[in-house]
């Protein structure tokens, strides 16, 4: 068993646009080289640099989690600024464990693919991992994980139980396990979506709904950040499933959780009640928000 980490720089496109290719390339190379040393201090081996990120393997799950936390703490304690008025650098990370095949110095396998998908799914400063990694961790590390529920990762036909690593002090609301009911068998219910004074209802027997900027969408939201067909909602396998099909992503806030589930061409279950922010976080200026509620 090998533990795989993908660590990606958030917003690298904006850095290259602001600084230009040569300056930005030099900055990113220096940053990833420095982060490589931190990974290596925790028994990690950098398989390769990915331009704006790193692909690292570890002999044990606990080493990988500790390395990811060390890097997030380092960037928080000593912020790194790319120049100009740009905000400090942030990383998003994915961790998975499994059988890995090494060919000519590169690594392949399902664990590699899942770790990459989790890094894509993670928000800024987030570390996401799976049930497989959680089960292999000592209890002290397990206590740092919060469930985000089962999700459909791109390219996977079955759901993956995803967990967020809590590396910062959290408030009482953040300590709540998100989507605890996701692990219970789904019951037929009713999903209610509301935005811009309109209310849509989806029953298990109903047809798939679309959210987007197109006038033909089931719930049309006219905002430049919203794709023509931004997301779909359907009843599948006993749950209401939200699927992101957009260019800029979808942020899902469940209950009192302040940490969103960030979807980028991925899916999540809708449970309880909350908000769906299309194309941006809900703390952005005048965000396009859809309120959802699942009724028994």
Residues 76, 68: Cα–Cα separation, whole Å:
12
For residue 231, pLDDT over 60 is answered with: yes
Q: What is the dihedral of CA 121, 125, 131, 132, to 10 degrees?
A: 100
Region 152-166: mean pLDDT is: 81
Q: How far is CA 109 from the centre of its chain?
A: 21
Helix/strand/coil for 46: strand
CATH number of 2-168: 3.30.70.1230
From-to residues of CATH 2.60.200.20 in the chain: 190-295
For residue 77, pLDDT over 80 is answered with: yes
Burial of 9 (0-12, 13-18, 19+ CB in 10 A): buried
Fold category of 190-295 in CATH: Tumour Suppressor Smad4 (2.60.200)
pTM exceeds 0.75, yes or no = no
User: Do the Cβ atoms of 191 and 202 come closer than 8 Å?
Assistant: yes
Residues 209, 76: Cα–Cα separation, whole Å:
40
* 3-state SS, one letter per residue, for 154-189: CCCCCCEEEEEECCCCCCHHHHCCCCHHHHCCCCCC
From-to residues of CATH 3.30.70.1230 in the chain: 2-168
Phi, psi for residue 213 in degrees, rounded to 5:
-80, -20
Residues 14, 24: Cα–Cα separation, whole Å:
10
Residues 61, 174: Cα–Cα separation, whole Å:
24
Q: For 11-59, how does the pLDDT look when each residue is reduced to its tens digit (9 = 90+)? A: 777 777 777 778 888 888 888 899 999 999 999 999 998 878 899 999 9
């Amino acid at each position: 068993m090998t533990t795989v980490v993908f660590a990606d720089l958030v917003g690298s496109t904006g850095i290259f646009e602001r600084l230009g290719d040569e300056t930005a390339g030099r900055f990113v190379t220096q940053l990833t080289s420095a982060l490589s040393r931190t990974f290596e201090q925790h028994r990690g081996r950098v398989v390769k640099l990915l331009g704006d990120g790193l692909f690292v393997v570890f002999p044990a799950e606990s080493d990988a989690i500790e390395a990811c936390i060390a890097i997030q703490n380092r960037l928080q304690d000593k912020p790194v600024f790319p120049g100009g008025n740009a905000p400090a650098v942030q990383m998003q990370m994915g961790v998975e464990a499994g059988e890995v095949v090494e060919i000519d110095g590169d690594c392949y396998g399902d664990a590699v693919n899942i770790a990459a998908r989790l890094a894509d799914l993670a928000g800024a400063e987030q570390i996401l991992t799976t049930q497989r990694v959680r089960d292999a961790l000592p209890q002290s590390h397990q206590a740092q994980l919060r469930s985000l529920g089962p999700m459909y990762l791109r390219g996977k036909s079955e759901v993956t139980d995803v967990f967020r690593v809590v590396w910062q002090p959290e408030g009482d609301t953040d300590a709540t396990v998100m989507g605890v009911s996701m692990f219970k068998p789904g019951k037929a219910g009713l999903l209610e979506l509301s935005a811009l004074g309109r209310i849509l209802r989806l029953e298990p027997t109903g047809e798939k709904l679309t959210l987007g900027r197109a006038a033909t969408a089931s719930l049309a939201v006219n905002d430049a950040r919203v794709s023509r067909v931004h997301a779909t909602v359907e009843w599948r396998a006993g749950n209401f499933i939200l699927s992101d099909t957009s260019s800029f992503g979808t942020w899902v806030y469940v209950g009192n959780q302040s940490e969103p589930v960030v979807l980028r061409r991925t899916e999540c279950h809708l449970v309880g009640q909350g908000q769906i922010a299309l194309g941006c976080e809900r703390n952005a200026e005048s965000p396009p928000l859809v309120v959802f509620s699942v009724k028994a």
